[in-house]
Structure formats: structure tokens, C-alpha cells
């Protein structure tokens, strides 16, 4: 009871009391927080030249500006890719368009083996009838012209846009001069049919999992999904197939389990989904891509915190960090305080980085005198807490709400 009274007085007097320190346990993690459940057993190599000197930053935030958590990237695809060999391209490859003005790109895949193509090499049939290229194409460009415009494609690439006055339909594309392998990319910017793809997180841990959500969108058109698959690829070339399962609401979901040996780094793991749906009696292809980073769990929050509030030294939060590999680890977090109306508002952001050896260490977020300057009182909350491995450039843990303290 005495503790509660002391904390309440602390809030009312706004740092007028002598130093007060307390030990607490972090709040329970939310479902979408990133949490290390098991540290990596393998000692991660430490990159050469990593700075070891301690670093601290803190700055004031405007309490009137609410902070919102950005949602993960959602791909909305109106395009597809397919690989074609010379036999297929000479014979003619068919695909369905659902809107006028589709953009088509044909690029050689085998350097030195695939023949460079021009628009004159391309023949088009629309709904079974031959259409002169000059009439079917609104605008075109080759690789050199694209490079001049700042877009770099392989030599021999040809890009063209179908004339907007041509109704959508079944397109047959052929090139008698084809040799080797080619990549066909078709993009329909005004199509009502799209395949959406979203991961439940943009940062994951080796040995953990990522949940993918996919959904067909068709505007006012009716669409009947036929198939949906996917492939996960790592920066090092590892790949695994993805199996989507249709849910009750008609969307699709897949859980991807990541290998424990996945490397940490800035390079992203890519998810490539490919689906087919039926619309107006025709099959429509769509490919959607998204990506996320993966980190080795080299450290984690140990769940303990020590808070200090005093007029002389200000406010700080000391957090326990357990590391399995030596390295430079960083904490960052936003501090919320209670304003005159008792509403929690963000008023300070702090970063702190320390070199930690294997075992349990500590990193302190020091907010100084910013609570008093902002007129903030107890209770306080530490939110948007992040633990990062700066040496290996990986994010290890996040907490939307990490700690509530000096509360009566």
C-alpha cells in the first residue's frame, strides 16, 4: 500500500521527490509482437570493424501527434510472369487480358543463347484473328530506349502496350525468330481482377514462421479461383514451396516455417505466389510478390526492467538482454506519459546501443528530463520497444506495449 501511495505522489508532484527505483516484469507480448522463444545455439560470427563504444540518443516527441503502427506491405497484383522456350514462342503462347491497354514485356533469359527480338519479330492474334502489329500496339520500346529512360532490362528486350481501342480478350503472341528462353511479363493496370498478397509480419526469426494471406479481388466482375501456389526463396538460394489453403471467407492462407540456419542480413526473403482464376469463361493468371527479412535469434529481452525516476537524474528504463553471441545490440523505445487529463501521450524517443558478451547484460534507455519538460506524469508506458542486432543488421524482438510503471 505504501508503494502505491508513493507512486501516486510521484505523479502528482512531477519529479519533486528523491530518486525512486523499481524492478518489474515486462508486459505479456501481443500476438503480433516479435519474440525470441529460443536463442540460437550456434555462435554467430561478428563482422569485422563493428563499433563497440556505447551510444545514446533521446529526443522529444510532440504529444499531440498520435503514433500509428504501419501495416505490413500488401501486394495488389494485376500482372503475371511466365517463362517460355523458343518452341513455345515460335508456335504461339496464349494468355487472357481482362482490360484494354495491357503492357507486355518479352525478355531473353539466356545471355548469348536467346535471340534478341524487336517488335517486328512479334506477331499477335486476338480472339483467333490476326491483327497487324502497327494496329495492335499503341507504343513500344526496346532495351536501349528503356535504358535511356532509366529502366534497365537485358539486351534484346521488347516492351509494348496494346492499343486501348482493342477490347480485352485471348491474346496469342508468337515470334518466329525466337531461340533460347524468354520471360513474358504482362501487366494490366486497369484490370478489375487482382491477386492480393500480404505477410503477417515484415521481420521474422530463423526457426520461426510467417503467415501469408492471399485474396482475389474482382470489383463487380465474378471470379472463380482455380489454383494458388507459391515459392519462398532466400537470398542464398534456398527455396521451398508454399501451400495455400482456402478459408471460410474465400481467402487463402499459408504458414511458412523458416529454417533455423537462415542467415541474418539486409537481403530479403521473397514470396512469389502464382494463381489462376476464371472470369467470364476465361482463365486469368496473376502473380503476386512480397518479402520480409529474417534474423538469427542472437539475443532476447530477459523480461526484467528497472525504472528510475528522480528530479536530479530524470527518468530511465534499464532492460535485461540475454545474448548467445557477442555483438553490438540496440534498444529503442517510445515513452508515453499521462497528460493533465490523464491520457497517455507519446513524449520521448530513446535509442541506446551497447556491446554485449554472451550471457545476461543490460541496456538503459535514458529519457532525461523530457517528462518534466513535457508536463507528463505517472503512470508511464514504454511502447514500440525494439531490440536490434546492429552487428548483423537484424531485428530480434518488438513489443507494442512493453512496460507500465509508476502507476497507482
User: In the prediction, which pLDDT does 161 show?
Assistant: 96
Q: What is the share, in percent, of the chain residues with pLDDT greater than 70? A: 94
User: In the prediction, which pLDDT does 20 show?
Assistant: 57
Cell numbers found for residue 319: 532492460
User: In the prediction, which pLDDT does 11 show?
Assistant: 43
Query: Distance (Å, rounded) from C-alpha 230 to C-alpha 273?
Result: 4
Instruction: Report the pLDDT averaged over residues 122-150.
Output: 89
Q: Which residues contact 155 (CB under 8 A, 6 or more apart)?
A: 108, 116, 143
Provide the 3-class DSSP secondary structure of residue 99.
Answer: coil
Instruction: Report the pLDDT averaged over residues 33-44.
Output: 88
The DSSP letter of residue 313 is T
Residue from 404, 232, 251 nearest 317 by CA: 404
Asked if the model's pLDDT at residue 98 lies above 70, the reply is yes
Instruction: Report the pLDDT averaged over residues 108-136.
Output: 89
Asked if the model's pLDDT at residue 7 lies above 50, the reply is no
Instruction: Report the pLDDT averaged over residues 266-289.
Output: 95
User: In the prediction, which pLDDT does 185 show?
Assistant: 97
Top-ranked range on mean pLDDT: pick from 2-16, 148-162, 228-242: 228-242
User: In the prediction, which pLDDT does 241 show?
Assistant: 97
Residue 365 in contact with residue 319, Cβ under 8 Å? yes
Asked if the model's pLDDT at residue 152 lies above 70, the reply is yes
User: In the prediction, which pLDDT does 230 show?
Assistant: 98
Query: Distance (Å, rounded) from C-alpha 191 to C-alpha 295?
Result: 37
Round to the nearest angstrom and report the end-to-end CA distance of the chain.
10
Report all structural domains of the chain as residue ranges with CATH numbers, in order of start.
2-70+298-405 (2.60.40.3870), 79-187 (2.60.120.1370), 197-295 (2.60.40.1930)
Q: Which residues contact 134 (CB under 8 A, 6 or more apart)?
A: none
Asked if the model's pLDDT at residue 70 lies above 90, the reply is no
Asked if the model's pLDDT at residue 195 lies above 90, the reply is yes
User: In the prediction, which pLDDT does 5 show?
Assistant: 38
Lowest mean pLDDT of 15-19, 133-137, 277-281, 341-345, name the range: 15-19
Q: Rounded to whole angstroms, what are the CA distances from 329 to 292, 390, 404?
A: 21, 6, 23
Instruction: Specify the pTM.
Output: 0.86
Instruction: Report the pLDDT averaged over residues 196-219.
Output: 95
Q: Rounded to whole angstroms, what are the CA distances from 312 to 14, 226, 257, 309?
A: 12, 68, 50, 9
Instruction: Report the pLDDT averaged over residues 381-391.
Output: 97
Amino acid at each position: 500500500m505504501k508503494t502505491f501511495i508513493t507512486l501516486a505522489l510521484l505523479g502528482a508532484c512531477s519529479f519533486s521527490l528523491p530518486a525512486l527505483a523499481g524492478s518489474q516484469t515486462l508486459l505479456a507480448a501481443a500476438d503480433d509482437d516479435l519474440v525470441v522463444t529460443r536463442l540460437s545455439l550456434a555462435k554467430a560470427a561478428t563482422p569485422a570493424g563493428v563499433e563497440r563504444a556505447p551510444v545514446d540518443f533521446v529526443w522529444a516527441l510532440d504529444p499531440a501527434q498520435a503514433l500509428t503502427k504501419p501495416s505490413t506491405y500488401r501486394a495488389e497484383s494485376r500482372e503475371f510472369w511466365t517463362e517460355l522456350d523458343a518452341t513455345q514462342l515460335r508456335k504461339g503462347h496464349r494468355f487472357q487480358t481482362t482490360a484494354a491497354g495491357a503492357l507486355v514485356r518479352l525478355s531473353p533469359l539466356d545471355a548469348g543463347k536467346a535471340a534478341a527480338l524487336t517488335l517486328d519479330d512479334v506477331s499477335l492474334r486476338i480472339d483467333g484473328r490476326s491483327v497487324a502489329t502497327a494496329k495492335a500496339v499503341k507504343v513500344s520500346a526496346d532495351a536501349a530506349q528503356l535504358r535511356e529512360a532509366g529502366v534497365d532490362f537485358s539486351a534484346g528486350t521488347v516492351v509494348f502496350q496494346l492499343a486501348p481501342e482493342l477490347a480485352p480478350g485471348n491474346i496469342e503472341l508468337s515470334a518466329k525468330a525466337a531461340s533460347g528462353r524468354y520471360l513474358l511479363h504482362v501487366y494490366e493496370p486497369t484490370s478489375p481482377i487482382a491477386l492480393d498478397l500480404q505477410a503477417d509480419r515484415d521481420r521474422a526469426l530463423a526457426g520461426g514462421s510467417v503467415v501469408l494471406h492471399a485474396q482475389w479481388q474482382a470489383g463487380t466482375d465474378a471470379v472463380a479461383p482455380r489454383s494458388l501456389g507459391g515459392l519462398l526463396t532466400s537470398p542464398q538460394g534456398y527455396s521451398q514451396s508454399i501451400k495455400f489453403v482456402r478459408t471460410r471467407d474465400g481467402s487463402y492462407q499459408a504458414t511458412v516455417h523458416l529454417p533455423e540456419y537462415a542467415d541474418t542480413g539486409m537481403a530479403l526473403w521473397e514470396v512469389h505466389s502464382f494463381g489462376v482464376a476464371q472470369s467470364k469463361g476465361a482463365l486469368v493468371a496473376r502473380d503476386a510478390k512480397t518479402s520480409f527479412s529474417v534474423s538469427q535469434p542472437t539475443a532476447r529481452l530477459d523480461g526484467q526492467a528497472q525504472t528510475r525516476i528522480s528530479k536530479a537524474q530524470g527518468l530511465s528504463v534499464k532492460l535485461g538482454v540475454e545474448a548467445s553471441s557477442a555483438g553490438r545490440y540496440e534498444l529503442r523505445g517510445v515513452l508515453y506519459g499521462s497528460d493533465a487529463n490523464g491520457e497517455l501521450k507519446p513524449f520521448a524517443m530513446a535509442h541506446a546501443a551497447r556491446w554485449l558478451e554472451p550471457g545476461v547484460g543490460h541496456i538503459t534507455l535514458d529519457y532525461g528530463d523530457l517528462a518534466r519538460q513535457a508536463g507528463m506524469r505517472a503512470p508511464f508506458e514504454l511502447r514500440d520497444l525494439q531490440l536490434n542486432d546492429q552487428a548483423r543488421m537484424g531485428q530480434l524482438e518488438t513489443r507494442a506495449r512493453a512496460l507500465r510503471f509508476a502507476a497507482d
